[in-house]
Amino acid sequence: MSFGPSLPSDEELIKKLRESALTRRRAEEEIFSRYRYFIKEGQNQYSLSEEECFEAYADSILEMIKNVDTDVFARRSSIKTYLYRIFNNKCVDLIRKKTTNKSSVHRTSVITDMLFMMEDSAKTIVQRLIEETDHDLLKNKLAEIGDNCKKVLALFAEGYSDKEIATMADYKSADVVKTTRMRCMDRLRKLYNTRVE
Amino acid sequence: MSNLEYIEAYFSQSLSAGDKQEFEKRVAEDVAFAEDVAFYITANDVIYNQVLEEKKQRFRQIYRQDTSMSRSSARVLWRYAIAASVIAIAIIASLLTITKMDLPERLADDYISRNWETLSVTMNANANQTSGDSLQRAISVFNNGKPHEAIVMLEEMYRKDSLNYSVKEYCGIVSVQLKQYDKALGYFSSLANDTSLEVNPGRLYTAVVLLKRNQHGDKAAAKKILTAIVEGDFQGKEEALKWLKELE
């Protein structure tokens, strides 16, 4: 007996997360809505505020999606179990942060991932230069590079290949996407440098 | 190839080993190039975090809508909820009676599956950059389903820095996943005795392992530790109170 449309299975959701931007977005929202009761559970279990639990839950969804993208999520458990573990860890991290102020809640960082790939002496040099960069200014300049640039850079940052972006955003070819991306990064760099100089 | 393309090729790991070395040498010798690399990384980080921030805003809207909708639905459904709760309680009570013999292990299993199957990659303040990196690497290896490799890495770190409480903590957790409970007890007892920590999960973790091992005398020892946690208002008090009630 069915009382309404059946919910997509884990298999279907993961497949959708790997499809075009719109389908992926719907799958993200479906997962978010399906397990949003974790927020309430977090409030009850850890005595955290609704806002803190919302942040932990939203960050958990984003981390799970990243792990699907990078194949770190090995599918040994269901989305629910996997997500709950991440959420649980984030709540515990939050409590530790509140009680000891010794550790920060884990946030996805491209910087850490990229630096991790570098050999130590090069890493130290680049790390120092990154620390000198004005992140807020860069964020503001990103708003000035134009919608098309923002879109193409955002899709690439989400892990789509140039070929996939070409299909999704109506570019002639992957090469055109790559050239556009490079041009956009260059524009961002110039905007940033103008202000810094 | 422009600098940007060259940098992207490095980070997408499409350069040969020789070219990779050449790239790193250039970073060390050419300041302008190193600045390009730093900019590339920072820009990608800013863009990616912007994407995440936008997603979070969408989630927030959905959450607000869903919350207001569910509040009105809740009024209509409360009678059904009460009936369902009564049935659920009856089922849980009968299950608890049936499985009372396995209760300590079940409590431990529940805690382990909720907390220790995937570890949070959080940098620790008492770790220096190098040991912090190594710790993150070991945790990633563990999260990728390779506990045997992770324990080798962690124990090597422990040999070098036996005072690092995070290393001790993770050594214990991974030992539990490898069913090496005696070893895990060693790490967690040592962690519990570390008086330098303001918040110390060592006592609770020791109790978890005793409940999991569930050999003769383990349950009583675990109860003793849980009582001490409650009386001393130590970390894990809430969990300890809950378990003590269930173990009675």
pLDDT surpassing 60 at residue A46: yes
Residue A105 has a pLDDT of 42
- For residue A179, name the pLDDT band (cuts at 50, 70, 90): very high
When CB atoms are compared, the residue of B40, B114, B199 closest to A96 is B199
Whether residues B11 and A117 touch (CB distance < 8 A) is answered with: yes
A106 vs B contacts (CB less than 8 Å): 120-122
Residue B70 has a pLDDT of 65
- Nearest CA distance, B216 vs chain A (angstrom): 31
Residue A102 has a pLDDT of 42
CB A38 within 8 A of CB A84: yes
A12: left (phi over 0), alpha (psi -120 to 50) or beta: alpha
CA distance B240 to B248: 12
Residue A106 has a pLDDT of 43
> Any idea which residue has 């959708």 for tokens?
A16
Mean pLDDT of chain B: 85
The stretch A40-58 carries a mean pLDDT of 90
Most confident of A107-116, A145-154, B73-82, B197-206: A145-154
Residue B125 has a pLDDT of 42
Whether residues B45 and A110 touch (CB distance < 8 A) is answered with: yes
Catalogue the long-range contacts made by B128-136 (C-beta closer than 8 Å, 24 or more residues apart). Answer: B131/B157, B131/B160, B131/B161, B131/B164, B131/B167, B133/A116, B135/B166, B135/B167, B135/B170, B136/A112, B136/A116
- Nearest CA distance, A12 vs chain B (angstrom): 20
pLDDT surpassing 50 at residue B62: yes
Whether residues B46 and A72 touch (CB distance < 8 A) is answered with: no
Q: Which residue has the higher pLDDT, B71 or A40?
A: A40
pTM of the model: 0.53
pLDDT surpassing 50 at residue B164: yes
A85: which residues sit within 8 A by CB, 6+ positions away? A77, B113, B114, B115, B117, B118
CA distance A141 to A163: 27
- Nearest CA distance, B100 vs chain A (angstrom): 24
Residue A195 has a pLDDT of 59
CA distances to A54, A69, B114, B177 from A64, rounded to whole Å, are 15, 9, 16, 22
Residue A35 has a pLDDT of 92
Mean pLDDT of chain A: 85
Q: Which residue has the higher pLDDT, A143 or B121?
A: A143
Q: Which residue has the higher pLDDT, B71 or B161?
A: B161
Give the pLDDT confidence of A87-116 residue by residue, as tens digits.
999 998 888 776 654 444 444 577 878 888
When CB atoms are compared, the residue of A115, A119, A188 closest to B43 is A188
High-pLDDT (> 70) share of chain A, %: 90
Helix (H, G, I), strand (E, B) or coil at B235: coil
B51: which residues sit within 8 A by CB, 6+ positions away? A154, A157, A158
CA distance B227 to A52: 30
List helix spans (H) across A35-161.
37-46, 50-69, 79-100, 110-116, 120-132, 135-142, 147-157
Give the pLDDT confidence of A24-36 residue by residue, as tens digits.
888 999 999 999 9
- Nearest Cα to A157, choosing from B35, B60, B55? B55
CA distance B169 to B187: 7
Residue A101 has a pLDDT of 46
